[in-house]
């Protein structure tokens, strides 16, 4: 059986900067061998859903702005950097970057957390279209959407780390 320390070390960053999720999943006995992407995701997602509203909001707030200041300064986590680069967000024109910056600011001002979307398989145009649509949502709609996107990002990250059951 994988140790708690090893589990948290390996999966503590799957939910952006939120190792408490991996710690609680392990402590709750939700981790069984063999470790598969779907099983680990189920254990982590259960903890995320059971977390307090403030803790879930903290997880949302731990996510970086898309094509934002952290991306420009090179301070994204390796996962976030790869995800954003895969969607072309590291190659925006000045006008595109200005639009993302404008939307990031308006979104955070309206909702109190950054715009979150699982960018894998999406182009910068897909992301921008989703951004422009979702900014008109209610706060409750966006909390639900952002939470679902965080779980999708976690599953995509786990799928790249672990095999699936045979």
pLDDT band at 91 (very low <50, low <70, confident <90, very high): confident
What average pLDDT does the chain have? 88
Cα-Cα-Cα-Cα dihedral sign, residues 78, 75, 87, 127: positive
According to DSSP, residue 32 is labeled -
Contact 48, 151 (CB under 8 A): yes
Question: So what's the pLDDT on residue 163?
Answer: 78
Which alpha helices (H) appear in 19-165, and where do they start and end?
19-27, 37-50, 53-62, 69-73, 78-86, 94-111, 124-134, 139-161
Pairwise CA distance, residues 77 & 100, whole Å:
19
Cα distance between residue 35 and residue 1, in whole Å: 10
What is the tens place of the pLDDT at every residue in 118-164? 988 888 899 999 999 999 999 999 999 999 999 999 999 999 999 77
Residue 68, phi then psi, degrees to nearest 5: -95, -165
Q: Which pLDDT does position 76 carry in this prediction?
A: 54
Q: What is the mean pLDDT of residues 9-35?
A: 93
Q: Helix (H, G, I), strand (E, B), or coil: what is residue 115?
A: coil
Domain residue spans of the chain: 4-57, 63-135
Distance CA 102, CA 115 (A): 12
| Whole-number pLDDT of residue 69 | 56
Please tell me which residue in 17, 41, 63, 97 is annotated as part of the active site: 63
Q: Which residue has the tokens 């900067």?
A: 17
Q: What pTM value is reported for the model?
A: 0.88
How far is Cα 9 from Cα 11, in angstroms, rounded to an integer? 6
Q: Identify the architecture of domain 63-135 in CATH.
A: Orthogonal Bundle (1.10)
Better pLDDT: 104 or 89:
104
Residue with tokens 């952002």: 146
Separation of alpha carbons 135 and 104, rounded Å: 10
Q: Among this protein's residues, is 63 annotated catalytic?
A: yes
C-beta neighbour count of 51 within 10 angstroms: 18
């Amino acid at each position: 059986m994988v140790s708690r320390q090893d589990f948290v070390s390996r999966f503590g960053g799957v939910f952006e900067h939120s190792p408490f999720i991996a710690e609680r999943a392990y402590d709750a006995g939700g981790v069984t061998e063999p470790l598969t992407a779907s099983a680990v995701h189920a254990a982590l997602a259960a903890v995320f859903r059971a977390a307090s509203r403030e803790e879930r909001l903290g997880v949302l707030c731990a996510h970086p702005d898309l094509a934002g200041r952290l991306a420009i300064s090179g301070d994204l986590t390796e996962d976030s950097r790869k995800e954003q680069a895969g969607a072309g967000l590291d190659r925006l024109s000045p006008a595109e970057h200005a639009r993302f910056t404008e939307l990031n600011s308006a979104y955070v001002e309206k909702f109190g957390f950054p715009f979150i979307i699982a960018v894998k398989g999406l182009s910068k145009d897909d992301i921008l279209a989703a951004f422009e649509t979702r900014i008109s949502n209610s706060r409750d709609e966006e909390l639900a959407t952002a939470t679902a996107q965080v779980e999708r990002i976690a599953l995509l990250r786990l799928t790249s780390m672990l095999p699936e059951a045979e």
